[in-house]
Amino acid sequence: MQPLRGVTVVSLEQAIAAPYASRQLADLGARVIKVERPGVGDFARAYDSRVRGLSSHFVWVNRNKESLTLDIKDPRGMSVLRTLIDDADVFIQNLAPGAAERAGLGAQALRQRDPRLIVCDVSGYGAPGPYETRKAYDLMVQSEAGLVSATGTPEEMAKVGISVSDIAAGMYAYSSVLAALLERGRTGVGTHIDVSMLESTVEWMGFPMYYAYDGAEPPPRAGAAHATIYPYGPFTAGDGKVVMMAIQNEREWKLFCERFLGRAELADHPDYATNTDRNAHRDALGAIVAGRFAELSSDAAIALLSDIPVANARVNSVSEVWEHPQLAARGRWHEVQTPAGPVASPALPGLTDPAPRMDPVPALGEHTRGILAGLGMSGDEIDGLVADGVA
């Protein structure tokens, strides 16, 4: 399923947030032209070299795209970019705050030139506002959004282990572009989408924010356990492996006491009768539950929990996810080419097409000559731009 075939996206992008959004659009069939700096490219290309010499970040968010190198500070490079935008359906950018406007690529100017154009700006904090010009790396935004304060252990806060603020902004940019394309199909008019990492992360902070509504105490940091539901979190089995489990309601709690703990009387104990009671007495209850897990192997504990059934999970390492039996059974792994050879890549969630789009991760400037030729430039003209470092 490639419903965005025929849609052209020009993306002046770097790092994660905007590239993640444009990759989703590319996965659905859009032509995405990724504009990069000549000689250097998207700086995420140099974040690491873990995928056969390529950056893990870059390989993740850049399949299905064409790479065009342009120096847009050179009038010739800017002319090429404007020509591409004139023929595009969507323009995405996540340059430094104010850079797009200074270059004449602000949403108002572009949409005056082409009212059908959908312009999507992705930034750290948005404009206007006192944070408009601040650098907004993922950890900074996690911190400003309150996420770091809600994550970790009682003794030490922690960041989320993935670039969640970048991902949140990328997903809202992606979904907003899809909505704008639908709206344009009805009205014939494009729109301006303004996505900030801060606002995207704050939207995902709904539970802890409302829990602390009107000056109330925020939920405590509880490590890998749930902050306010108990028992809900990790327990170590007798073989040393960690099992996650979760009690969600009183029916599950009663069955858990009977069939897993072997202590039916605990279900109605005044200290544990409701989730509020269990949460208030989690240290004492935790010792009881931990003691039972210590009597069982992880496989036995999971079997007992599954038979009740109570939600449970193994705590996989990142490496083990590559071999996850559920992903294999659903055929989610595919192969994508990169400049360093083929690598495994998961299909876009939700798509059931047995052959999802898995075009290569591009080398820097790999499509420059082809794209410029498609604009009607001669070989000599292209050679001149390349020789001058403009393309």
Q: What positions carry a catalytic annotation?
A: 166
N- to C-terminal Cα separation, the chain:
34
Six token digits for residue 106:
């602000």
Nearest CA among 96, 103, 195, 193 for reference residue 137: 96
Q: Rounded to an integer, what distance in angstroms lies between the CA atom of residue 56 and that of residue 39?
A: 20
Provide φ and ψ at 294, rounded to 5°. Answer: -65, -20
Q: What is the dihedral of CA 283, 285, 288, 289, to 10 degrees?
A: -100
Q: Rounded to an integer, what distance in angstroms lies between the CA atom of residue 120 and that of residue 126?
A: 12
CB 114 within 8 A of CB 86: yes
Residue 127, helix vs strand vs coil: coil
Measured CA distances, 88 to 30, 39, 54, 126 (Å): 11, 25, 29, 24
Q: Rounded to an integer, what distance in angstroms lies between the CA atom of residue 385 and that of residue 391?
A: 5
Q: Rounded to an integer, what distance in angstroms lies between the CA atom of residue 94 and that of residue 17?
A: 8
